[in-house]
Structure 1
């Protein structure tokens, strides 16, 4: 916990500082009471001059050897200047003089926390709890230690205790949201935030975190309502507008999302992420010129935002400008080389340009980074099939099924390839698996190979499952 120094600008404080500086110039020794020394020390801290502040403390300790306050300030400054061992020694002396001063244990807890000695940090913070008059910040410090130990259950316990004492502590609410998120306990977090709001209905942070919890559970309508309450309480809450926009996107309400994203510009400068989000909305609406305009704004503002470059590529692809789209896909890939979506788009662009070897290499990358992308497996196998590489196409689908055993589309596709290979028995085996899983999707087979509508063996098997 960082000590907040409040510099006293009173006439008494100014006289003390003036007198101290006169003493230094004269290379003399004046006596100052402890209050005057505190004024002088805080003056140098205010001026961000820890070296001079430490010099004053040396004088203060020599004149007031039993005042623990100076040793505590000395420890704070030594810690600030990375003299950790000296800081700990100063605190040892302070503890001998004033063992009931909670600040000693809080500061020592912070030191041990910075050294990642978590158990010693906990020991000191918990000692401080027994001594301090107000403990909400200390409880939060204990929660941080537990977070660093990856013990999020205990962190939640202490954050809640802190919030019981100080419901205004927004940091506590956000840390609680983080812990619930890590533990994937969104339902539990919703219960907590609702109870919190019952006690403090005007807490914009509680409404915001409640909305985020709904959002993570795909309860987008409820999330939007909660974001609206947060915005009602804090009109300039840009993050709430942005997340509300994201929730609207999930509901395909793109025009509304654009308006909400734009509202963030009233309360904070436009940023690359928001421009990119607006671009994506226009893309979904099929307004590719507008989409490209916003993606370009995003990329110009943050050239390292891969999604912006990718978005430009998508808009060009939609206009069948495949060669141009490749250029932007590759720029995106330079920034995020393991993004399966980028590789998929590149594979498709190469395919449309007739550059089959390059397309195959890109599909290999897609499936390396995302082996559960069923569409990628299907498209890759189609490419191989069209090249007359029937056995490779069937092997590709076999590998796809290993990675996606519940994807019925793959089984129907395997039937088509096995029939093409003349392997009717195995084709029927896969067809029966597919029909058992989802008979209504048998049309997939005929969509891909219409000639199978004339295959009596296939039709006979299907008729056993379709009444």
Structure 2
């Protein structure tokens, strides 16, 4: 009840303050009231209003260290670091034991990438505070900025020891374990935490995720069940449980868990997509398509949704419909590499080779440098009679895949076809050295070249 009473007082102060601003009738507020008003504005991102409240607060309470510290916070936010530093030096002379002064100074140093010095100041702050959890959390963040995950982990653990309900610290600890690829150690730590907090749904959820990473699916399932027992409204646990059940090929059970999330909250595109995938695995095509369609309706920008529909029709060999949906996807996001790769593949199946080439070219322009993309584009360019463009494409591919036999055999074939026997021989020799068995590429794609006596003599020489 005390919290509600304090909240009521804060709301009353804020209403009274905003009424004063409208009437221009200056009223007196004590410094605590100003602090509450300023914190309200800062939490809601209303910086200009917070600055005005600080100015009015300091006009009524010119010696208030807490109001000046709020002023420092805004100066740091606005990157006016020198001014903030000067003000902190003055405040330190007045109140050398105020931990907030050390925290704000550390914040400035952190912004200047002086993380070690920031950590030193935060350790000083520990000597002047009872709020250990907040300081340890800040120290942990500084170590994260330095990519020192071991020390970050240690300080987040200290934070959680000081406040076992600080779930952000728990998530940060697991983040460090994950980065260090210490899944078994993470489970051991979480189990120790659960000995003291057996009904912590977040911890059970994290245990499940660690077992999932280790592919120990039955143990993961048990952990997610405990998370649900601890909080049967925990949507994340149902989603993760669904993923595990999919891995165990228990698709009906997975669907059931995903559907629970739809009942607990607004539908998520992830759950709808997974339900569709499960129905597809169960051979229930109509229900699969229905849920894929709901997925893109829920989140039109979710590429996996559009790709699911496209791939659905592609597998059914209904290339016209697959093309229709991939075009819809490209209209929504023309910079998505996955869309353009599908677009190229579908057009290739439909024998729309110019469009297929455009798709592969666009994928390359967007940074998709997979070998398959270069090779497919080269083969299509050759088919379209654009041998020179095919050669240039393959030379570009060689920059990413030097000495790749599939590229070299194609270059050899293209040069022999272009009556450039010297370059043809050069690339064929390199191809044979790189991988003799891959000469099948030349045999299948360039049959006439392969049967040339000069080519056969070269192959026999290497044999």
Fold shared per TM-score above 0.5: yes
CA drift at 1:161: 2.8
The yes-or-no answer on 1:265 pairing with 2:258 is no
Q: Give deviations 1:11-65, integer Å, cap 9, x for gaps.
A: 9x79x97xx99xx99x9999xxxxx935543564587574457534543x35xx5
2:73 aligned residue (79, 87, 93) = 79
Shift of 1:132: 1.5
Q: Summarize the alignment of residues 250-289 of structure 1 with structure 2, pairs less than 5 Å apart.
A: 250=247, 253-289=250-286
| Distance in structure 2 (CA, Å) of the matches to 1:252 and 1:416 | 46
User: Aligned pair 1:141/2:135, yes or no?
Assistant: no
Q: Distance in 2 between matches of 1:406 and 1:165?
A: 58
Are residue 246 (structure 1) and residue 247 (structure 2) matched? no
Question: Is the alpha carbon distance of 1:96 and 1:434 closer, same or farther for their aligned partners in structure 2, counting shifts above 3 Å?
Answer: same
Q: 1:279 to 1:430 in 2, by over 3 A?
A: same
Uncovered stretches (5+) of structure 1, i.e. residues with no partner: 31-35, 450-457, 462-467
Asked if structure 2 preserves the Cα contact closer than 8 Å seen for 1:8 and 1:39, the reply is: no
Alpha-carbon distance in 1 for matches of 2:160, 2:324: 52
Q: Does 1:160 align with 2:157?
A: yes
| Structure 2 counterpart of 1:455 | none
Structure 1 residue 245 displacement after superposition: 2.8
Q: Give the CA deviation at 1:191.
A: 0.6
Query: Which residue is equivalent to 2:103?
Result: 106
Alignment-derived partner of residue 465 in structure 1: none
For 1:247 and 1:414, locate their aligned partners in 2 and report how far apart those are by CA, in whole Å.
47
Q: Following TM superposition, by how much is the alpha carbon of 1:444 offset from its aligned partner in structure 2, in angstroms?
A: 11
1:55 aligns with 2:56: yes
Tell me the equivalent position of 1:37.
30
- The separation in 2 between residues aligned to 1:356 and 1:104, in whole angstroms, is 68
- Once the two structures are superposed, what CA deviation does each residue of 1:280-307 show, in whole Å capped at 9, x if it has no partner? 3334444433222222222222222222
How many angstroms does 1:130 deviate by?
2.0
Paired residues of 2:323 and 2:346 also in contact (CA < 8 A) = yes
Q: Aligned with 2:122: secondary structure?
A: helix
- Structure 1 vs Structure 2 CA RMSD: 5.3
Structure 2: give runs of 5+ residues left out of the alignment: 42-48, 447-455
Give the C-alpha shift of residue 106 in structure 1.
Answer: 2.5
CA distance in 1: counterparts of 2:184 and 2:434, whole angstroms: 41
- What residue is the counterpart of 2:189 in the other structure? 195
Q: Is this contact kept in 2: 1:414–1:430, CA < 8 A?
A: no
**Do residues 316 (structure 1) and 313 (structure 2) align?**
yes
- Are the equivalent residues in 2 in contact too, given 1:207–1:226 (CA < 8 A)? no
Task: Choose 122-131 or 90-99, whichever is displaced more.
Answer: 90-99
Q: Distance in 1 between matches of 2:366 and 2:27?
A: 72
- 1:233 paired with 2:227, answer yes
Q: Name the counterpart of 1:33.
A: none
State the SS of the aligned residue for 1:132: coil
Distance across 2 between alignment mates of 1:302 and 1:114: 37
C-alpha change, 1:384 and 1:194, in structure 2 (3 Å) is same
Q: Distance in 2 between matches of 1:290 and 1:325?
A: 18
Pairwise mapping of residues 410-449 of structure 1 onto structure 2 (< 5 A)?
A: none
Distance 1:126 1:379, change over 3 A: same
Task: Decide which moves more: 382-391 or 124-133.
Answer: 382-391
- 1:447 Cα shift? 11
* Contact map agreement 2:115 2:146 (CA 8 A) in 1: yes
User: Take 2:366 and 2:177, find their aligned partners in 1: how far apart are those partners?
Assistant: 28
SS of the aligned residue for 2:30 comes to: helix
**2:127 paired residue number:** 130
Query: Is the contact made by 2:210 and 2:220 (CA closer than 8 Å) also made in structure 1?
Result: no
Shift of 1:394: 10
Are the structure 2 counterparts of residues 138 and 448 from structure 1 closer, same or farther at C-alpha, using a change threshold of 3 Å?
A: same
Partner of 1:346: 343
1:200 alignment partner, SS class? helix
CA distance in structure 1 between the partners assigned to 2:379 and 2:316 by the alignment: 23
Is this contact kept in 1: 2:106–2:121, CA < 8 A?
Answer: yes
Q: Distance in 1 between the 2:247 and 2:402 partners?
A: 27
Partner of 1:185: 180
